[in-house]
Amino acid sequence: MSDTPLIQPAVVGEGVYEEGREASTQNHGHIKSYVRRAGRMSSAQENYYAEMMPKIGVVYAAQQIDLAAVYGRNAPKILEIGTGMGETTAKIADANRGNDYLGVEVHVPGVGALCKQIAERELSNLRICQHDAVEVVRDMLPEASLDGVHVFFPDPWHKARHNKRRLIQSPFVALLASRLKPGGYFHCATDWEAYAHQMLEVLSAESSLANSADGFAPRPDYRPLTKFENRGIRLGHGVWDVIFRKK
């Protein structure tokens, strides 16, 4: 650990977020699970981003962080990868103030929207790292430091030639599993059936994880239904939850 504060004002440079702009475009040699999406921040998102990121932004650096120091307490630590517009993330953090959450997202308007939620709900247990989650997990999170991992509705990359971009693949799952404490949980959800089966297969093949259910799991109460999911359910579409535990 260096003495550099972990929560600090936005700075511009390699591997850190640039205020109001895209995260670093540096290619660190792995296939990205996302593409840079066009999309401007609304003025509200801009304002909340500027107000909140200096307070709750965890700046990416290729050095391990002490999660207890980031939140100033010892409490269960849950990582969420791909928070999107942040509705689910904020609801979960609000309903579980005894846990600390780290949301990782590259889409800047989504980060702005989540900043708004954090400000409005006065959440002190939710931090955001605006960077590629693969690098955040690899470089910043110590082994056995997490009590849970959420990967909700990751980009499905429908086309066969794009499947390689999916987040839930063996090497990344092994990396994530190494960051979980014994007994910690790994929770994925998707509305894309083929990806659901891939999740089940890949997590089953990871020897340090054990399925908490017999196949797919029922949706636990802590994962709220999204508007999008409710609409899908009305149309008869499926949603699959996959929940494993670290041995």
Ligand X SMILES: C[S@@+](CC[C@H](N)C(=O)[O-])C[C@H]1O[C@@H](n2cnc3c(N)ncnc32)[C@H](O)[C@@H]1O
Write out the residues near ligand X by the rule CB under 6 A: 33-34, 81-84, 88, 104-107, 110, 132-134, 152-155, 167, 226
For ligand X, which is the closer residue by CB, 46 or 72?
Answer: 46
CA distance 166 to 188: 13
- 51 neighbors 115 (Cβ within 8 angstroms): yes
Min dist. Cβ of residue 108 to ligand X (A)? 9
For residue 139, indicate whether it is catalytic. Answer: no
Give the containing element (helix H, strand E) for 69. helix 67-71
Min dist. Cβ of residue 32 to ligand X (A)? 7
For ligand X, which is the closer residue by CB, 37 or 73?
Answer: 37
| Of 94, 139, 155, 191, catalytic | 155
Min dist. Cβ of residue 241 to ligand X (A)? 12
CA distance 60 to 57: 9
For ligand X, which is the closer residue by CB, 11 or 31?
Answer: 31
For ligand X, which is the closer residue by CB, 132 or 241?
Answer: 132
- 104 neighbors 136 (Cβ within 8 angstroms): yes
Q: How are beta strands 209-211 and 146-152 bridged, if at all?
A: unpaired
- 157 neighbors 163 (Cβ within 8 angstroms): yes
Q: Which residue type sits at 19?
A: E
Non-local (6+) Cβ contacts of 193 within 8 A are 238, 240
- 140 neighbors 60 (Cβ within 8 angstroms): yes
Min dist. Cβ of residue 233 to ligand X (A)? 14
Catalytic residue positions? 155
